[in-house]
Every structure is written in C-alpha cells, then in structure tokens.
Amino acid sequence: MVFSLSPLAGLSSYRLEAFDTVGSTNAVVLERAQAGDPGKLWVVSKRQESGRGRRGRAWATPVGNLAATLLLVESYELKTAATLGFVAGLSLADALDAVFSQTPSLNSARIGLKWPNDVLVDGAKLSGILLESALLPQGRFAVAVGIGVNIVSHPEDLPYPATSLQALGSTCDAETLFLALSDSWRENSALWNEGRGLGEIRSRWLERAAGLGGEVSVRVEDRVVRGIFETIDEDCRFVIREEDGGRVLIAAGDVYFGSVASANAV
C-alpha cells in the first residue's frame, strides 16, 4: 500500500510527498518552506533516522512506524500557531477512532490527550507531536506540525508506559492511519479556523484529556509544581490547583500523572 491523502483533503488543496526513508520530516518541510513552498504540504515516511521530540529529545521511527509532518505557511501570530498542537492531537484521536472501530477488541480502548503534545491509549504513549517554526520573508512564518506514531513497535526503556498499534492488537498500517489522519486534520483545522474556533477545539480536547481531575506533577525548568489537574485555560495553558487552593498556569513543562508523578517529577 502507498501513502495517499483522503479525497476531501486533496480537494481542499493539501498535497503529499512520501519518502521510504527520511532524516526528519520536520526538517524536510522547513526546507521546502525556505525554498518557497506555499504550505499545506504533508511529508510522510515509515522510517525516520534523525527525528526529534520536545526539548531536543530523540524520537526514533523504526521501519513501519509513521512520521508525518504538515507544513503551513501563515501570517497570523505565532501565539495562535502554537495551539495547532491541540488540533493535531484531536485529529490523531479522531483518526484512531476510525481505525479502532474496525477492531472489536479495541472498541473500548481509551484514547487520551496528554498536555501538551502526547496521544495515549489506555494510559500508554502511542504518539508524540512536535511543532517547529521558521521565519520567512514578508512577515510570514512556516510551521511544521510533526506527528510521530508507534505503529509496529514502541520504545521499551522509558520512564512511562508506551505502546504501539501492533501491541494493542490492531493490524492498521502507517498508510491507512495517515489516510484517516489527513481527513480528520482537514475537519479539525477548519473548525480551528486560524484560531477563531479555538474555544471549540479546547472543549473537544478537554473531553479527551488524560488525567483531568487527578494528581499531577509538572516539571517547569528547575522546579516542580504539584496539585490537581483542573483544566486548560482559554490560551490552552495547563491549570493546576495546588493544595492551598491556589491556581498555577503553566505554558510549558513536562507532565506526570498519579504514581508516576511522585516517582519522576522530582
């Protein structure tokens, strides 16, 4: 099977470039942007040799997993563009809904969105999302919306649970998942509407939020904030209710839930 866009994504002017192997799909789309690409370009591969996650961490994509990055070239504020990670998480969750509906044993699987950039299934990490940007001439900028998904394998040496579609019992391949993703992105991006629909995106994201209402620790630079995960605010910042009743708004940090919070966020 080959990678392809959903028919409606194609009609909405999205384009696709597929590789057997790539260094980094994010790097490729940013290179395309610097060369003048107008955006709405998906770059996909089933093997990525030098992928990266948040804070410069490595993100391995062995053969058979999915590395997909969407290039957008825009002129609205970067603060608005930063919320595209929530659009990406919702889009992948919707695509997984479609895939899981074809596998009876996965009909009850819980797809959760972990702030700010992970997609979990039954509490284990299936996917990570990374946004990167680059300035372009005439006041425009490029955004790379990178989505990595464990299809056939997942790392074993992590301080938190991880999984893959194959480990979950799904026979879905990278091409099938991307087809569904390209369609669900089109729908959620239209709802987001350059940030004007962020309130609806936020509401939908909270319906799938992992750990909402539970104990949480967030590592923020050189300190750790502990409390209850209360919500995400209108700007999609993480909101913690501390033991004394105070609220802490966090724009960036590493989140740990429950017992993992105590073990790792120290």
Q: Where are the alpha helices (DSSP H) in the chain?
A: 7-11, 25-34, 78-81, 84-100, 165-168, 174-192, 198-207, 258-264
pLDDT of residue 51: 56
* Intervals of CATH 3.30.930.10 along the chain: 7-207
Give the separation between CA 159 and CA 244, rounded to whole angstroms: 29
Pairing of β 15-19 and β 118-121:
unpaired
| Local structure of residue 86 (DSSP, 8 states) | H
Residue 160 is predicted with a pLDDT of 83
Phi-psi category of 49—alpha, beta or left, where left has phi over 0 and alpha has psi -120 to 50? Answer: alpha
Phi/psi at 150 (nearest 5 deg)?
-80, 105
Q: What does the pLDDT read at residue 264?
A: 47
The CATH number corresponding to 215-264 among 2.40.30.20, 2.30.30.100, 3.90.1150.10, 1.10.760.10 equals 2.30.30.100
pTM, two decimals, is 0.92
Predicted confidence at residue 265, as pLDDT, reads: 45
For residue 52, the model assigns a pLDDT of: 60
Q: Are 207 and 184 in contact (CB under 8 A)?
A: no
**Alpha helix stretches (DSSP H) within 101-129:** none
Which CATH fold topology does 7-207 show? BirA Bifunctional Protein; domain 2 (3.30.930)
Looking at residue 190, what is its pLDDT?
Answer: 97
State yes or no: cis peptide before 116, omega within 30 of 0.
Answer: yes
Residue span(s) of the chain under CATH 2.30.30.100 come to: 215-264
pLDDT at residue 157 in the model? 78
How many helices and strands (H and E) does the chain possess?
8, 12
Q: Which one-letter DSSP state was computed for residue 215?
A: E
CA angle (9, 14, 15) in 5-degree steps: 120
- One digit per residue, the tens of pLDDT, for the chain of length 266 reads 899 999 999 999 999 999 999 999 999 999 999 999 999 999 999 998 865 655 555 556 678 999 999 999 998 888 899 999 999 999 999 999 999 999 999 989 999 999 999 999 999 999 999 999 999 988 899 999 999 999 999 988 777 899 999 999 999 999 999 999 999 999 999 999 999 999 999 999 999 999 999 999 998 888 899 999 999 999 999 999 999 999 999 998 889 986 454 444 44
* β-strand partners of 219: 224, 254
Cα 110 to Cα 107: distance, rounded to the nearest angstrom: 9
